[in-house]
Amino acid sequence: MDKDLKNLTPERLQRLVEMFGQKAFQAGYLFTFIHQKGAADLDQITPLPKDFRHALRARGYVISTLTLRQQYADPDGTRKFAFDLPGGSRIETVCLRDGDRNTVCLSTQAGCRMGCVFCATGQLPFDRNLTAAEIVDQVYQVRSHCGAVHNVVYMGMGEPLDNLDAVMRSAALLNDENGANIGIRHITLSTCGLPAAIGTLAACDLRPRLAVSLHAPDDATRRKLMPVARKYPIDSIIAALRDYQRQTARRITVEYCLARAINDSDTHANRLVARLKGLKVNVNLIELNPFTGCPYEASPPKRIKAFAEVLKNAGLETAIRYRRGRRIQAACGQLGATQIKHP
């Protein structure tokens, strides 16, 4: 049985409370104090009877908390948090400030199995999946340092759909009105394109926004950038997205990182337009963010703008996402860069 109270849904907390012979409403205290008030110890949940708290502790129940190792601040307002996990792994979480609103970029795995060449995390060995508690605690710790969190994007270290059960449970915990109460349309899951998992996501009752990292309009180019493309060709991903859209009627974000002379020509742009025909999408063009050992360079700003114009002229809603947090290695593709072991 899971002994981490932060990992339990309201329904499971209620069963736990009843197992201990307590009134059902005590489950509400547990959930609210952990997920809304940030309680990190049972003794902080003062409405619970002392004998119940003692009984929980005696049976090994805990409220887990990540160990904050270090904070970094970029002059552009971006902040990065490095957390140590039990067992010795480390993850990084980013808070992006936009006016008076905070967006938190969450990690879902220590390391990553996908191996994307332009992503620092992809160069790290995969260690393990994070629990739902470890995922949501990133939000709670950032909230304690930066203030209210308005948006959550699962775009940090790891592939969210490779840890789908914990990710969806964490999204439900963050969305709960008695917890962080983050609206489901303010929660985005990003994937490199796992067709079966996209199908599973479409069938879920809880539906965060979906973002797909395509990064190329053809399989040959995509395989240079993303080893996962050898297993999942673009046709299979597009088919999964069409099925997803048929079931959900939700707009999809397509992420496209531009690497100089690799995937940034007008020909690539026109091919991308053809690939996305018939889908309701918006496209985010991302400047490649270098790290030591990355074999690619960012496309020049003029080339990025020209690429965007091709998409816009074809009727695709397109935005250019310029670098933020680059000076502290917190920009897209840079998380975990300091952990890479170079020969």
Three-state SS at 167: helix
Residue 115: HSE in the Cβ half-sphere, 13 Å Cα cutoff: 11
Catalytic residue among 116, 192, 257, 332: 332
Residue 277 contacts by C-beta under 8 Å, 6 or more apart in sequence? none
Three-state SS at 44: helix
Residue 267 contacts by C-beta under 8 Å, 6 or more apart in sequence? none
Cβ 224 vs Cβ 261: under 8 Å: no
| Apex 10 CA angle, 8 and 12, nearest 5 | 55
Question: Strands 209-213 and 252-258, how do they pair?
Answer: parallel
Catalytic residue among 92, 134, 159, 287: 92
Cβ 182 vs Cβ 152: under 8 Å: yes
- Catalytic status, residue 18: no
- Catalytic status, residue 92: yes
Q: What are the residue numbers of the active site?
A: 92, 332
